[in-house]
Chain A
Amino acid sequence: MKPWLVLLRPGDWLVMLAGLVAVGTSVPLLWRGGSADLAVVKRDGTVVAELPLTAPRKFDVVGPLGTTVIEVQPGRARVARDPSPRQYCVLQGWLTRPNSIAICAPNHVSLQLSGHEGGYDSLNY
């Protein structure tokens, strides 16, 4: 280790530290895919509610099997309760990223988050 350390000059430490800080700050800023700000609830493909992800609230949607309960909290949303037999959309838990979606197919209800930028589902080149 020693023969390598002598190669570093005082300013080099400074530059490396600045680099480390730059990398560190970039991690939380850019790692997440933007933030979602709207929960779009649909029944049979038609929008029944657009809930802003600012204040906590609950929203009921009545489908063919019963009532699906959508729960919204600041920055996230989930399907809290659903009568579907396999509970896939409930087990998905909290949705936080734009374009993420929970579908309760048996009850014809879907919950999707949207961000301010529309974004793409996929890109190929």
Chain B
Amino acid sequence: MESTQVVIIGGGATGAGILWDLSLRGIKAVLLEQKDLANGATGRCHGLLHSGGRYVVKDIEAARECLAENQFVKKIAPHCVHDVGGLFVQYPQDDPAFFRQWEEAARTVGLASQHLSAEETLDLEPHLPKNILGAFTCPDAHVDVFQLAQSNIESAVSRGGAFRTYSEVTAIGITDGRVRSVSYRDTRNGDEFQIGCDMVINASGGWAQKVASLAGVDVPVRCDKGSLLIFNHNLVSRVVNRCRKPGDADILVPAGPVCVLGTSSITVPTPDGLTADPDEIQHLLGLGAELIPVLAEARVLRIFSGARPLYVPKSAGAAGGREISRGFALLDHETLDHVKGFVSIVGGKLTTYRLMAEVTANLVAAKLGVNEPCRTTETPLRQTIDETVLSRARKLLPAQAASIAERRLGPNLARIVAAIERRPELAEIICECEQVTLAELEFVLGDETLVPIRALTDVGRRTRLGFGPCQGTFCGYKAMLAGYRSHRWSAAEASTEFEHYLDARWKGQSFVSHGKQVEQLYLSHDLFGVTYNFHDQNGQ
């Protein structure tokens, strides 16, 4: 039986952050994720790197935490962050008393903020409604959630950490009140495995309760569903928050080429199989148009839902989604439930993932008798890129493609550049919307990457391929062919991969009930369903 010191369950930001932290301390760990990295809340969130502004009035501790982590993440992972800044906009329909409270609380927390007049604000963000009263600035940013999860894993792997995707934990072996092993099943081929270990960390977010039950332990987690709308292009250049008590659809985040509006807050029984319902979408769109009027006519690319894992200690009673603390809890099941070697980290936010990893790793290191301090606040997640590689890339690729590749690939850009220099045809742009080259695609499909994919649907999370307006209509097929040509998949496998790919891409679009995306979806249906005879599960 394979063995390691620590098994981490869950490949979201928290689990990935823990793997990196442990690897930096020299602790051997294997991360198991039931699907692909960032399959859970991490890949289904706004990607707002909170400055704390959203919490200053209600929860000053959470605000302080966010502010500190905001600065750490910007420092250690600049390639994952669009440091765009944010605004808390004062709308005439909102409570002016809140504006004063906000300003005061921001000062108390030490949030760098400046008040802008209505004209100054409109100058920066012309899409805001003309009747706004002004805005406060704040250091909000966007963080690319897929990059962040991937970067933590990549760095961890280069330091000896290991991870396995499509590996669902099915049992936690306990003898004499102590965790001894973890069993998991490869969800792509059904193979069963077991790893011996000294400790197990439950970082499975909304699934934490279910995973904890494998060790006979109860972890009360409430799943709070939030739905998000992705718009085709950037309609704002900074994060726009509504300066009021946090509510639905009051944040618009410029997230790379797209922008993301959200969210709602609805308690659900499980994080699996979430969908947005039509009322919810109309509700979000209506409020979105209050935030930025042009959202009413802008193109929605897709709609998706995630579940916030909210920790509800038994004392919390029946409070609803937004009333429960967004703080996190580290549960040592040795002291709580007499199960040695088992800890859970639950709740929290994407923004605080590093801190959550730190406290978890501190506890685990102490239990393992490892005396290494946490170094994640000062160790960059990625090495800098060689200047000569950059200038070679700029010669080979158009300006925007070079700039995208540089941010996404980091030091791996050297491989892409060398590959294109050897075979110039690899400079072909396969995904036009997101400017992904054939060279990058082949790299992601190949064996040299430290974060290999297993399914065609994983390619988007590594490269953004298929994330633009056509939603994979034209590039998904080419990516499948590239996988076939590189002998990753046989013809039959490639075709199955593509069917799954289409299903996944179609699903997120099928909730968009209006506008150009409906036509886009029909184009894809007609092309692949009717013309190429790929099956069509949605029957649309």
- Chains A and B bind each other: no
Chain B residues with CB under 8 Å of chain A are none
